[in-house]
A and B are shown apart, each in its own frame.
Chain A
Amino acid sequence: MSRPVEAAEEGPGAPVFKFRLYVAADAFNSMQAVANLMRFCREHLPDRYEIEIVDVFREPRRALAEGVLMTPTLIKLAPAPVKRIVGTLSEASTLSQTFGLQVPA
């Protein structure tokens, strides 16, 4: 898909993925999303990911400013382009596709 992503597969020196995950406190969907994202990162992006978790109840202004209305919402900030995924992130294949990663068969 895009060049930086291909570079990402090369191990050291590959770009670091920055995520921001909006959750609604400890709502079931949100908790699932956190768990699913953690697992995905461990499996596909070992040591090159950063996750920021934002609780909409604590920081509603931030959610409003960023236009996050559904929870959970994952925003991939880096590498470009910025992508959003809404939901529990239950399907790893959708994540890989969206992040431009090639899933090892």
Chain B
Amino acid sequence: MKALVSLASSTGKAASGIEGFDAITGGGLPHGRTTMLGGGPGSGKTIFGMQFLVHGALHCGEAGIFVAFEETPARIVANMAGFGWDLEALQQEKLFFLDAQPLPDLVQSGTFDIEGMLAAIGAQAADMGARRIVFDALDVVLALLPDAAAQRREMYRLHQWLLSREITGLITAKAGDDMASSCLPRPSSFMEFMVDCSIVLNHRVELGVSQRNLRVQKYRGSTFDEDEAPFVIGNTGFNVAITRLLGPVHGVVSLERVSSGVDRLDTMLGGGYYRGASVLVTGFPGTAKTTLSGAFAEAACARGEQTMFVSFDSDGAEVIRNLTSVGIRLQRFVQSGVLSMTSARTMTGSAETLLVRVKSLAKAHGTRCLVIDPVSTLAKAGNELTAHGVAERLIDWCKADGITLFCTSLLDEMGSQANGGKPLHISTLADTWIHLNYLVQAGERNRGMSIIKSRGTAHSNQVRELILADSGVTLADVYTAGGEVLMGTMRWEKESAERVAKEVSEVAAKLKRVSLDAEEAVLEVRAKSLQTELVAKQVEKALLARTTESRERELARGRTRMRELRGSDESAG
């Protein structure tokens, strides 16, 4: 950027009410001086002039005079009605139209001057206290003058007249068709050197796309942004886009988290996206970018936040129908007015125009969460050069307004841009970048999701599998085996194999326990039988002992008896 030091002070500036323009020039046109506005047909000169007067009358307390050389005031009033300016009401005291068209049957004989007009305007200006005057299409009257010297003389006269009255003057004149050269054709070129401020409006067509640009060529006594600034003529008049505000962005940095609509993704991000953050989802076609957008939108709507879904791909109703298949039901929110579906497929025009339209729609809707699917459309043919600036301004604007932005980008488009055109570079601007890709394995395509970056939030480094089911969107852990990530059926197979293995081992353990039980029982039984056997042996042994004893006693008794019978005298022994 240039040195834009003292731009904040707007002393000596007459605000034009064109937001971007006042920022570029640090306050507006030079007050009490003359500004030249050049441009080709349809470049918006008259609108610029009119807006300058309307703003002065409504907001600066400065009455104005519009000198129309080319159109009747009635036609101008009718044409400007579309911008919501009530010129009829203003005309009572704040605005005066002077129909200065040369009459078609005007006969000319010899040279003339514009003293009559200046005298008439002077009287009118004094009556109403006009501080602003627009001379629209001065070249029309200059063309009637016989030679360049006379033209120069009249321009000088006009300039001096304006300066002496310290009226802020805006003179518009046609520039040549050759837009490459910013120099206006004679005689207006002379005017450019004379005036204090010179503005050039460009209207180019690149690959069939209209691109309007405004450039401040000179501005005596003030610094200004010298670059061409794209502008759009929208439904509120001029809208000059500036890449960066010449001051701090007044966004409120929030610590509040908003849900992504996918529980596990929230967990991965440590609670969700930050409010006011810009989220970018990249991926090839069909990687469920829109589905993630839908999940985000549904969650936002469920919180009761005004949400806008801008689809560049398909119709709003189509998006809703398609999202229903994964359990994201948005229709009810559309009916309640919380969700606004905008199909931008039908919007034509430059990226700049699209941004302005989205902005005005969002303003009207009071959007807190904005989904743009896909944002890479901005870079379509004819807009390559401007798309990046537009994307930047989109993010800046969202941040300044505290809108949480969720945009998707087609990766193959980004790839093609890297080859030839200018890439959108939005990924460097986004706060959170989620990448979706396909993993092709074993004849299958599965969706993988990873968080590439997420400023200020802890986030998981792991790739997750994104699963779309009737019931909604979920994430699943992926398996890594031998350095490869397993997804889809392979993940399922792996899971089921693990389940089987677990079952098998459980059964085996059970079996083992049972067999041990059996062995134990056998041993116990054996122990018991041995015990019994032991007892039997002991009994047997005791019996044996007893039998032996009794036999010996019998024997002894038998012997004694025999002796007795034999009458032996020998002593028993």
Contacts and interface: CB of A to CB of B under 8 A. Distances in A.
Contacts of B107: 83-86, 94, 98
B116 A70 contact: yes
Contacts of B105: 83-84
A45 interface: no
Q: Interface majority SS on B: helix, strand, loop or mixed?
A: mixed
B111 interface: yes
Contacts of A29: 110-113
Interface stretch (B8-16, B119-127, B454-462, B561-569): B119-127
Contacts of B410: none
A57 B113 CA distance: 14
Nearest to A33: B110
A91 interface: yes
B111 A71 contact: no
Interface string A34-66: 001000000000000000000011001101100
Nearest to A27: B115
Contacts of A57: 115, 119
Contact of A63 (B103, B113, B120, B141): B120
A69 B116 contact: yes
A63 B112 contact: no
Interface string B408-452: 000000000000000000000000000000000000000000000
B505 interface: no
B114 interface: yes
B108 interface: yes
A27 B298 CA distance: 76
Interface of A: 22, 24-25, 27, 29-30, 32-33, 36, 56-57, 60-61, 63-64, 67-73, 83-91, 94-95, 98
A69 B112 CA distance: 10
Given A60-B119, A60-B120, A69 B109 contact: no
Contacts of A33: 110
A32 B110 contact: yes
21 contacts: A27-B113, A27-B115, A29-B111, A32-B110, A33-B110, A36-B110, A56-B119, A56-B120, A60-B119, A60-B123, A63-B116, A69-B116, A69-B117, A70-B113, A71-B114, A71-B115, A86-B108, A89-B110, A90-B109, A91-B110, A94-B109
Kindly name the residue among A22, A32, A68, A86 whose own CB sees the greatest number of chain B CB atoms within 10 A. A86
Contacts of B108: 85-87, 94
B119 A70 contact: no
Contact of B112 (A36, A60, A71, A91): A71
Nearest to A97: B107
Contacts of B115: 24-25, 27, 30, 56-57, 71
Given A27-B115, A63-B119, A63-B120, 5 more contacts: A33-B110, A67-B103, A69-B120, A70-B113, A86-B109
A88 B100 contact: no
Contacts of B120: 56, 60-61, 63-64, 68-69
Nearest 7 interchain pairs by C-beta:
A88-B110, A24-B115, A60-B123, A69-B117, A87-B110, A90-B110, A71-B116
A89 B119 contact: no
Interface in B245-295: none
B109 A91 contact: yes
